[in-house]
Amino acid sequence: MVAALELTGVGKTYGAVRALAGVDLTAHTGEVHCVLGENGAGKSTLCNLVYGGATLDEGSMRLRGRPYAPRRPADALRAGIAMVHQHFSLVPNLTVAENLLLGEGLRLRLPRRELAARAAALGDRYGLRVDLDARAGALGVGERQRVEIVKCLLREPELLLLDEPTAVLAPAEVDALLDTCRRIAADDRAVVLVTHKLGEIERAGDRATVLRGGRVTGSGPLRELGRNTLVELMIGREAGALDSALTTGVVTARAPRAMPKGEPVLRISGLRLDRGDGGRALDDLDLTLRPGEITGIAGVEGNGQSELVVVLGGARRPGGGSITLDGVDITHAPPARRTARGLGVIPEDRHHEGCIPAMSVAENLYLGRLSDFRRRGLLDRRALRTAAARTIEHHGITAPGPRAPMRTLSGGNQQKVVVARELALDPLRCLVAAHPTRGLDLGAVDSVLRRLRAAAASGAAVLVISHEVPELLTLCDRILVAYRGRLHGPVDPTDPGAPDIIAHLMLGTAS
């Protein structure tokens, strides 16, 4: 077995933050090597060092037995390393073909016929079919990721890095991606898969390296590292301390909860939103949310869930129908007015819709409520930072401090900031949470689910949109399924047959 990549004593520091310290890792050709750890454990930093996005401060790297020290991504590509980033880099207004030709490592004027032939060959070999003529911005997330992988493979890398590639994928898309990783490794390449989901590691991985606090806590063949050991290495506590659904993906039966009573907090009637292609993203959608109730929405991407969140947040106006919050019509109310009335929204895209990367962590934690810290017309930054420091500690956010720019946080910690901000609304009458655990490690997922339950227990109506059906089953009082712009159900999560019912509703095959 050949060592494709070797890291020895690798360290990296950003200001006062020790991102990596003494990291050893060896990835072999023909294997999928999984790197896992909590948010802020150093996984993305490790990828950046290998791909040339940053330079290491300590230690060394070797590629195929030779010293390797990339200073920029172009160096990595020339050396035979390609990377699928956590956040897609496609240019939305360009076609798939044009995006494939962008960047280093490929002849700029590759003839269209040759590009099509090579892309088709990759599609057949690895299950990565792409439409070269489609606009990148019109693709779903699963399709965009396939394009990113094809773009990497066109450069014929010997080692492929994937940084949290499944964070935005539906379950079926996750299965397809993991199968692709296995096929790529089988072609005598090395694959380094960064993830925090144990099920993915067990399905795709050969070896694993676990990071916690920037240091390696364990490494070895997966057949020798059991699930409970991996959890303990990753979060520093036993798997039994977490909800079993998070570590096994299997939901144990639970007793039905008494359904909350009272007047609806949020009522949606006949909501309509047209798509650009003449169809409807939301097709006369109805929904009622009651205080103290957690309602889940499952569904394959593209069935109206994303549009529903955007409309509820006030970023888009519906083409028809109404939305009332505590009996007040907010159908056309601006986002600030909805927030003032107690409607919190955790958006699907935390980067473009949930935060302002150039602003500080403190400012992002209190977006929309900075006026609370004004004294005689001026922002009291000391009071803001003090409050933010308490929130950072309370929610377990890993950050250099309240003053740090939001962009310096890992993706998972950015998500924690957004979740913390929306849960802190006072009053919080209704919380709409789109994929609230996306990109979070097991410990953070467990914490977020507990906080959502606490919000409902305090009287808020909670709506959770997620691809993670096991999470919805363990969290929600009822589950609806989005299909072609409408909501179907409800499904009782305590019903032993609920997973099968949800699966049929998602595919439109329910009788």
Structural domain ending residue among the three candidates 242, 267, 290: 242
How does pLDDT run across 490-500, given as a tens digit for each residue? 999 999 999 88
**How large is the average pLDDT for residues 211-220?**
92
pLDDT tens-digit profile of 254-280? 555 555 567 899 999 999 999 766 778
418 and 461 inside one domain? no
Q: Same structural domain for residues 23 and 96?
A: yes
Nearest CA to 46 out of 15, 77, 76, 7 is that of 7
Alpha-carbon distance 368 to 378, whole Å?
16
The rounded percent of the chain whose pLDDT value lies above 70 is 92
pLDDT score of 169: 72
**The total number of structural domains that make up the chain:** 3
Are both 257 and 190 inside the same structural domain? Answer: no
In a shared domain, residues 392 and 331: no
- Sheet containing strand 207-212, edge to edge, reads 81-84, 159-163, 190-194, 32-37, 207-212, 215-221
Instruction: Supply the angle between the helices 227-235 and 442-457 in degrees, to the nearest 10.
Output: 80
Do 179 and 304 sit in the same domain of this protein? no
Residues 387 and 437 in one domain: no
pLDDT of 439 reads 73
C-alpha 329: how far from its chain's center? 32
The CA distance from 373 to 215, in Å, is 38
* pLDDT at 106 (0 to 100): 58
For residue 294, give the CATH number of its domain. 3.40.50.300
* Whether 327 and 469 share a structural domain: yes
Do 481 and 387 lie in a common domain?
Answer: no
pLDDT value, residue 384: 93
Residues 110 and 159 in one domain: yes
Answer yes or no: is 354 within a domain: no
Vertex 173: Cα angle to 250 and 221 (nearest 5): 65
Maximum mean pLDDT: which of 52-56, 172-176, 244-248, 407-411: 52-56
- 379 falls within a domain: yes
In a domain, 349, yes or no: no
Q: Is residue 252 predicted with pLDDT exceeding 70?
A: no
Provide the residue range defining the domain that includes 133: 3-242
What value does the mean pLDDT take over residues 227-241?
73
**5-14, 136-145, 317-326, 368-377: segment of lowest average pLDDT:** 136-145
Q: What's the chain's average pLDDT?
A: 87
Asked if the structure places residue 353 within a domain, the reply is no
Asked if residue 405 has pLDDT above 90, the reply is yes
Q: Residues 235, 250: one domain?
A: no
Residue 218 falls within a domain, yes or no?
A: yes
- Are 179 and 254 within one domain? no
Where does 326-387 show beta strands of DSSP type E? 328-329, 343-346, 374-375, 378-379
Residue 350 lies in a domain: no
Asked which of 403, 422, 441 is the last residue of a domain, the reply is 422
Residues 127 and 197 grouped into a single domain: yes
Number of residues written out for the chain: 511
Model's pTM, two decimal places? 0.68
Q: Which residues contact 190 (CB under 8 A, 6 or more apart)?
A: 4, 5, 27, 28, 29, 30, 31, 33, 158, 159, 160
Mean pLDDT of 25-35: 95
> Could you say which of 394, 422, 450 is where a domain stops?
422
Q: Which of 482, 461, 462, 479 is closest to 470 using CA atoms?
A: 479
Is residue 471 included in any domain, yes or no? yes
- Whether 406 maps to a domain, the answer reads yes
Distance in angstroms between the alpha carbons of the first and the last residue of the chain? 52
